[in-house]
Amino acid sequence: MIRAIVFDLFETLITEVGPTRASGLAPVLGLDRQAYRAAWKARRPRIMVGQLSFADALTEISERLAGAVDTAAVQGICQQRLREKADAYARPDDQVSALIAELVRREVRLGIISNGFKEDVFGWAGCSLAPSFQCALFSCDEGVAKPNPEIYLRALHRMGVQPEATMYIGDGGDNELAGAEQAGLRACRAAWFAGRSSQDLPWPELARCSDVLRVVAAG
């Protein structure tokens, strides 16, 4: 019997229209694209676990690649990211909202695990979905990120449930489904925003939000 569901956040509960990708900011900073992407990729893991801020990462990269920092550009990028995430939080999809409301009605406990920067998760508390969740674990606050099983186990502890009674649902980024399975949760891939995978994955794909209710009912 499924007593709890842990969701990924972006492209699972919340979707964005044309977000500015952090890996594609080279033109804004006046940097070489290829060199910037490599430098960004090297720093992303530290940002995800709160060891390095988004602004400090962009500053470090600019200093390394150009020997100078456009402080106004860095500040503008950070503010734009905050605005984009706030816009996404302000308009949750109707089908997602209906799913969460029905899960609450069925007394299924709900949690979130998300890999993100401070700018990414700042607006979650003001989202209309937030009150329905027993816990929300963000990698930048926890100091650990998916797919490390530790972050899933922390969510289970805070929700007061066992892994065998818990399902994890996400779009599959950051190898999150394998991490959930390693922690003992039942993993499913959310395809309602991300679309069907072109790969043959070992996890069930849920094409519509309503498919979650079918899985819960089946136990």
What does the pLDDT look like over 87-144, one tens digit per residue?
999 999 999 999 999 999 999 999 999 999 999 999 999 999 999 999 999 999 999 9
What ranges in 49-193 are assigned the alpha helix state H? 54-66, 71-90, 94-105, 118-121, 139-142, 149-159, 176-182
71-90 and 54-66 are packed helices; what angle lies between their axes, rounded to 10 degrees?
140
Are 205 and 43 spatial neighbours (Cβ–Cβ below 8 Å)?
no
What is the Cα–Cα distance from 173 to 170, expressed in whole angstroms? 8
Which pLDDT score is estimated for 60? 97
Which pLDDT score is estimated for 6? 98
Which pLDDT score is estimated for 197? 86
Helix (H) or strand (E) holding 38: helix 33-48
* Cβ within 8 Å of residue 212, ≥6 positions away: 5, 99, 103, 169, 188, 206
Phi and psi, residue 114, nearest 5°: -140, 135
What share of the chain in percent tops pLDDT 70? 100
Reply yes or no on whether the pLDDT at 199 is more than 80: yes
Which pLDDT score is estimated for 166? 98
pTM for the model stands at 0.95
Which pLDDT score is estimated for 92? 96
33-48 and 54-66 are packed helices; what angle lies between their axes, rounded to 10 degrees?
150
State which amino acid sits at residue 118: K
Are 143 and 166 spatial neighbours (Cβ–Cβ below 8 Å)?
no
Which pLDDT score is estimated for 20? 84
pLDDT band of 17, cuts 50, 70, 90 = confident
* Cβ within 8 Å of residue 167, ≥6 positions away: 2, 4, 5, 6, 185, 186, 187, 188, 215, 216
Which pLDDT score is estimated for 186? 97
* Cβ within 8 Å of residue 15, ≥6 positions away: 88, 93, 193
Which pLDDT score is estimated for 5? 98
Q: What is the mean pLDDT of residues 154-174?
A: 97
Reply yes or no on whether the pLDDT at 19 is more than 80: no
The average confidence (pLDDT) of the chain is 96
